[in-house]
Amino acid sequence: MNIVSQRLYDAVWSFDPDDKKAVAAIKAALGAGADPMAEDRNGRPIAFAAASAESAVPLKLMFEHGLDLNVRGSDGTLLHRAAAFGRIDVIQFLLKRGLAVDVEDQHGRTPLDVARAWKHGADAVPLLTKLTKAALKKSGGRKAEPNGDLAMADVKAALKKAKVKDKAVAGLVDGFFATKNPRSTIAFLTEFARQDDAAMIDVGLTLAAATTAAPTARKVDKLANPTIHIGDLEVTGDADAKLLVVTGDLTVKGKLSNYEGAVIAVGGDVTADAIWSEGPFVVHGDVTVKRAAWAAYNDHAMRIAGTLKVPLLAVIDHAFSAKRVSGKRYDDIAKMPTPHRKAFVKALGPIRALARP
């Protein structure tokens, strides 16, 4: 990247739509011959940096200086890049200039697919869902996926039966069925699990029951991450989950854990030697723990639709709900006697909170 193109790059990354000098800096760099397709150290052209800006102005200025808006890079098209960052202003500009809303990148993904896959793209999902559905309807609809095992009509019926009125859920369902992704139950469950919200994950498990995929029983020595399984799953040792969804029963012979940012969702019952959870932890059946369970320190929740059977339970600064709890529960570490503190440590390993005076 030469000096003039570097000036353009810097002006784009520091762009403030309310600063007239920022606009002037971009115009000056372009006027001096800066190349919008010059690549940064990561191999990404400046134009793609502009596509991720909060304002469409940088990209508009490049277009006025001859930039071909149909250029492609490792991020796909400029529309894919804007979608990944939820940049509505940029998306609307590109669509008005003729880019197709359902254009595919080198991996066969549409802008909607990318927006739904990126956390930053959430703001663009409603708009892209609406426009992508309209494009599919105009073109006669999308052909059936060869590996699809989840029908929109079945999910919609399950949604109605469950009396779910949350618009966010309806939007997520609409977006899922408007994408180019295979309409598989595993993809559907992954989508809901990544919402990082116990209530949404709960609904996702309910709706996924509409699948036509046959459940299978599986036994593993070590948990893979992520794991999305339709049927029953048994882990012969410890299971440290990052993203774990099981539609049937989950059996863990050792310690089951999901630390901050990790998800556990189970459609059946859970059996484990011990549990450490910082949530979300969602179970539609009963939970049976041989030694101890600890739910703590997070904004997420442990939601158990059935009964939690456990000798010792600690719920420390954590949202918790269960139909019934069988066992000794502590909500305050200060009230925990020494024998029980030792029992928790023996079952779960060192616990920093218990080491404090």
- Confirm whether 157 is domain-assigned: yes
pLDDT, residue 1, reads 75
Residues 326 and 273 in one domain: yes
Structure tokens at 273: 């030697």
Segments forming the whole domain that contains residue 52: 3-103
Tell me if the pTM is above 0.95: no
- Confirm whether 123 is domain-assigned: no
- Confirm whether 122 is domain-assigned: no
Which of the pair, 297 or 33, is modelled with greater confidence? 33
Q: What percent of the chain has pLDDT over 90?
A: 50
Residues 188 and 267 in one domain: no
Cα gap 18→27, rounded to integer Å: 15
- Confirm whether 145 is domain-assigned: no
My answer on whether omega of the bond before 45 falls inside 30° of 0, hence cis, is no
- Confirm whether 117 is domain-assigned: no
Residues 204 and 223 in one domain: no
Cα gap 298→316, rounded to integer Å: 9
Residue 143 pLDDT > 50, yes or no? no
pLDDT-derived band at 357, boundaries 50, 70, 90 = very low
pLDDT-derived band at 19, boundaries 50, 70, 90 = confident
Query: Mean of the pLDDT values across residues 142-147?
Result: 47
Cα gap 195→168, rounded to integer Å: 10
Q: Into how many domains does the chain fold?
A: 3
Residues 231 and 202 in one domain: no
Cα dihedral sign for 72, 75, 76, 80?
negative
Residue 238 pLDDT > 80, yes or no? yes
Q: What percent of the chain has pLDDT over 70?
A: 95
Cα gap 189→319, rounded to integer Å: 23
Residues 203 and 221 in one domain: no
Cα gap 132→146, rounded to integer Å: 21
Residues 204 and 299 in one domain: no
CA distances 261 to 136, 195, 197, Å, are 35, 11, 10
pLDDT, residue 145, reads 47
CA-atom Rg of the chain in angstroms: 25
Distance between start and end Cα atoms, the chain: 57
Residues 232 and 178 in one domain: no
Structure tokens at 240: 């440290």
Helix (H) or strand (E) holding 250: strand 250-258
- Confirm whether 127 is domain-assigned: no
Residues 309 and 239 in one domain: yes
Calculated CA dihedral for residues 193, 195, 199, 205, nearest 10 degrees: -30
Structure tokens at 253: 């012979």
- Confirm whether 139 is domain-assigned: no
Other beta carbons less than 10 A from residue 161's beta carbon: 11
Residue that terminates a domain, selected from 85, 103, 121: 103
Beta strands in 259-318 (DSSP E): 263-266, 270-277, 281-283, 287-296, 301-316
Cα gap 174→190, rounded to integer Å: 15
Instruction: Determine phi and psi for 248, rounding to 5 degrees.
Output: -105, -135
- Output DSSP code: residue 248: S
Residue 276 pLDDT > 70, yes or no? yes
Cα dihedral sign for 104, 105, 107, 112?
negative
